[in-house]
Amino acid sequence: MRVRDIWSVAPLALCALLLGGCETTLSSAPPITASFIRAGAHQDADAHTLAQGRSLFLNRCIQCHALPEVSRFDPPRLTTIVAKMSRRANMNPEQHDAVLKYLLTIRSQETSR
């Protein structure tokens, strides 16, 4: 392969690498099921709050970054992250609370497996 050929494919390879790093899967945002609602009760969250939190997580958070794997963060770290990010996303206190409770419920289900 000639040097000129390498330089012609380099931009494509760079784009693929950058886009691959931004991949988000829906496993980061599990659906609201009966068992999820039961788990949410430990966070004082009802079905409506969990659904609102999921919707915000899927639609607002992803505007700026890929959805994180929630299990990577312990509850105190999640609380700090959501506080910081909810301010940046201009969320009101109810929205902040819904996202936090949704993420803490995800975390509790993932660590109980």
Q: What is the pLDDT of residues 4-54, one digit of tens each?
A: 655 555 454 444 444 444 444 467 899 999 999 999 999 999 999 999 999
The pLDDT of residue 28: 82
54, part of any domain = yes
Query: Residue 71: inside a domain, yes or no?
Result: yes
104: burial class by Cβ within 10 Å (0-12, 13-18, 19+)?
buried
Buried b (16+ CB within 10 A) or exposed e, 45-61: beeebbbbbbbbbeebb
Q: What pLDDT does 110 receive?
A: 78
Q: Does a structural domain hold residue 29? A: yes
Amino acid at 32: I
User: C-alpha dihedral over 51, 108, 81, 52, to 10 degrees?
Assistant: 0
Residue 46 lies in a domain: yes
* The predicted structure's pLDDT at residue 23: 44
Confirm whether pTM is higher than 0.85.
no
Among 13-22, 74-83, 103-112, the range of highest mean pLDDT: 74-83
Among the residue ranges 23-27, 70-74, 89-93, the one predicted with the least confidence is 23-27
pLDDT, residue 11, reads 54
Q: Which of 82, 109, 112 is nearest to 97 (CA)?
A: 82
In a domain, 15, yes or no: no
Give the integer Cα–Cα distance in Å for 97 and 104: 10
Domain limits for position 50: 25-111
- Tally of domains in the chain: 1
